[in-house]
Structure 1
Amino acid sequence: MDRSISASEANQHFSELLRNVADGECFTVTSRGRPVARLLPIDRVQEQRAVEMLLDFVERLPRRTAGNWSRDDLYE
């Protein structure tokens, strides 16, 4: 789960924040109590994009049915 940090705190401790992100931590940056950005390691971003692309691809696949199979039919 992301740690929450205010924008002003992130600004004051930016170098430390980047080191923590490089070590694998994730942060949600807030402004006036509302989330406005996420900081996470680049490999996590690429992983999330890959998962999103895969899910998008699967959702677009045509739905097909294979008939009425019972559980017993599948084990025979």
Structure 2
Amino acid sequence: MNSRILDYTALVVTVIGAVNWGLIGFFRFNLVTFLFGDMTWISRIIYALVGICGLYLLSLFGRVSSFSDDTERL
């Protein structure tokens, strides 16, 4: 699987999770609970996917810094 596709997919899922947290913080409105119910199996899967994507994106820091190091050497 192309790493770039996985990066963008993880980024989209993480941004959606961040929007949900923003809604919770500003308006006390949980979109996932509204759409899928309070801690149903599907809402738990959504929360788990957002967490996994966030952890995966931590690897982006290492890849971005190594990419910038390579371009400086050219």
The normalised TM-score by structure 1 is: 0.38
Larger RCO of the pair (alpha carbons < 8 Å, separation 6+) = 2
Give the strand-richer structure, 1 or 2.
1
